[in-house]
Chain A
């Protein structure tokens, strides 16, 4: 830690971690509901829908907290100045947490906008927007005052502004369901395959530069090419969600072609990371941070790149659309691209914020491997269930519940690897919150 105001990042991270654990608990309830019968009286009080709204909103909440914390950590070092206003950063953290808790409690009592992933009711949406504006103002003012622009800063700020702008498209009530889904994807797709990729590419480049000691010029050059490709494939690639919603037929072509190219920037990012490893100039002090970085690049490629590509072409998507195949891709991609990236940031920054140069990673490495393997298995089990569903329900035309009974075994397996994942996560959360210096090696 070089700047006092970086300290605020610690509290963003510390707030994010328990929310991640809560997300997984709810995920277990969902997997349980898929496999075993939940009695009517419990379903009436706490439905799958409510738990699912919580599961997905917790994901967004903890990840956004991670990105914001990451931003508050990086910006002082990049601009070589303190954050414009620490008070605003604190205020915004508390406001976001309070909104999140209000939303979760509200879901329980049926207070919802009722659109998947965007369940947060309109009044709370406005609080979110105000919070986002404060955050952007704080970050932008820090950068403008320092006036030491770098590609990393530009990408970060650009990604955050894009992220906030897109949120607005999810707020109105759309009368026409087709239009509703059309703009719903402006938030969901353009977030995860646009704005979030920009933010995380910037964070990733920064940490890679710091831990490998590779020159800024080289890192930033590849950063431009990567985000260029991300946006080139990602923006028009939104079309792969418009095949079956009642949009014109040419979306099958636009979506198919652009999204088939979507693995390219991820592949480039992976090769680029491997290259930096080879040409590193600094000694790797903390192997676990490093494992997270490489793991993130590989997992990102598998989960988002490979699993995304597998069902993005319309000929295949006609059968897999809206099945557990999507769930498989969603879990692997979010874990690979965003959960591991956040955890890498936490492992990079949290020890430094506590003044620890080399940390003890004896517990943390178990956390990493248990989570990574459990999630990979989970993705495969969801995938098997999804292929069964596509075949039995879609191709054979048998009933929904007939297909579900074939999938039951695999959804049960998901529940058990989910338990293992929770074990790995609790180890990681404990480790991060009580991180200690490594015993001196002679």
Chain B
């Protein structure tokens, strides 16, 4: 091989790869509006993104899997913990992470910025990104959830418990979050009515409670989940 042939290898390699890349970039620009629901990209969502950058959230958390790996991924955070869950953690991290061995800084985010960030996360949750991350996929139950459902039987209450994000904080049989207490034997301590009351208004039952009130559950869902939990003895 001569130096001239080597030069042509360089030129052709670079040009062919660039052509593929730029053509795909042009097409991506065309398709991204649909995939990311750009029509829902309101001013508040954009303001939320600015706040998200202002506080450098992305140097602890990942979003769409990018950033630092110190704290949970935020792609589906809205689906996982909901509006109240997000607000509680941003506004009062000291309390929210009192039991955690890893802390989140209190960045004194204003109420308006928090509300904007929630809108931002609400929009991000809907991005069509080939169903990543796997742990938040709605299409496939994670194996931990499958094991849980198999071991307790598929009651409507178990389904509510599993699909409404209770396990982000609470655990059953060692699967789930460590944020709140494990609920393996909660039925020994609390009755159906007591659980219903607690889930609706934690502070009303126990002023020191840290759990956010679950306003999004319907009465029927609340009844089923309480029945399910009280059966755990």
A interface with B by C-beta (< 8 Å): 30, 33-34, 36-40, 43-44, 47-50, 52-53, 110, 112-116, 119, 151, 173, 175-179, 181-182, 184, 217, 220-222, 224-225, 227-229, 231-236, 238-239, 242-252, 254, 258, 318-319, 321-324, 326-327, 393-402, 404-405
Contacts and interface: CB of A to CB of B under 8 A. Distances in A.
Given A178-B35, A244-B64, 19 more contacts: A43-B104, A47-B56, A112-B56, A114-B53, A114-B59, A227-B10, A231-B18, A232-B14, A235-B18, A242-B28, A245-B65, A327-B69, A396-B144, A396-B175, A399-B171, A399-B177, A402-B171, A402-B176, A402-B178
A107 to B, nearest CB: 8
Contacts of A323: 69
A415 to B, nearest CB: 14
A393 B73 CA distance: 11
Q: Which of B3, B52, B106 has the most CB of A within 10 A?
A: B3
A243 B127 CA distance: 13
Nearest to A397: B142
B14 A231 contact: yes
B128 interface: yes
Contacts of B71: 400
Nearest to A33: B70
A318 B132 contact: yes
Interface in B99-152: 100-106, 124, 127-130, 132-135, 141-145
B103 A38 contact: yes
Chain A interface main SS type: helix
A34 B10 contact: no
B14 A235 contact: yes
Contacts of A258: 17, 20
B10 A324 contact: no
Contacts of A326: 69
Contacts of A217: 3
Given A244-B65, A246-B35, A401 B70 contact: no
A48 B124 contact: no
B103 A40 contact: yes
Contacts of B154: none
4 nearest A-B pairs in the assembled complex, by CB-CB distance: A397-B142, A114-B53, A322-B65, A232-B13
A222 B10 CA distance: 10
